[in-house]
Amino acid sequence: MPSQLESSMESLITVFHRYADKDGNCNTLSKKELKLLMETELASFLKSQKDPATVDKIMKDLDQNGDGEVSFEEFVPLVVGLSIACEQIYQIYKKTATKK
């Protein structure tokens, strides 16, 4: 049985490839693939971002080598960044929950 963290990492890889494999280049996400991934897997985050250009901006931020595609290495910082943001919310939530 994989640990919780191991299965989380496995899920991350599985989700990345579920979208990256849609076109010829299965190791990277095109903008279309990234958009689909975010709309499906990060719908609540995307909804909280009112700016319709969010995906374009995120794409630009993530694409470190500027080839117009997002590789797994370039994708991971997005997940890490969102996890950090979620953890901060979790801390605030925990604080207010214990204050009662």
Where does this chain bind Ca ion (CB under 5 A)?
20, 23, 25, 63, 65, 67, 69
Q: Which residues share a beta bridge with 70?
A: 29
Q: Which is nearer to Ca ion, 68 or 86 (CB)?
A: 68
| Contacting residues for 27 by C-beta, under 8 A, at least 6 apart | 20, 71, 72
CB contact at 8 A, 70 and 63: yes
Q: Name which of 7 and 65 has its Cβ closer to Ca ion.
A: 65
Q: In the bound complex, what is the minimum distance in angstroms from residue 53's beta carbon to Ca ion?
A: 19
Nearer to Ca ion, 6 or 23 (CB): 23
Q: How far is the CB of 9 from Ca ion (least distance, A)?
A: 21
Tell whether the torsion through CA atoms of 43, 47, 49 and 53 is positive or negative: positive
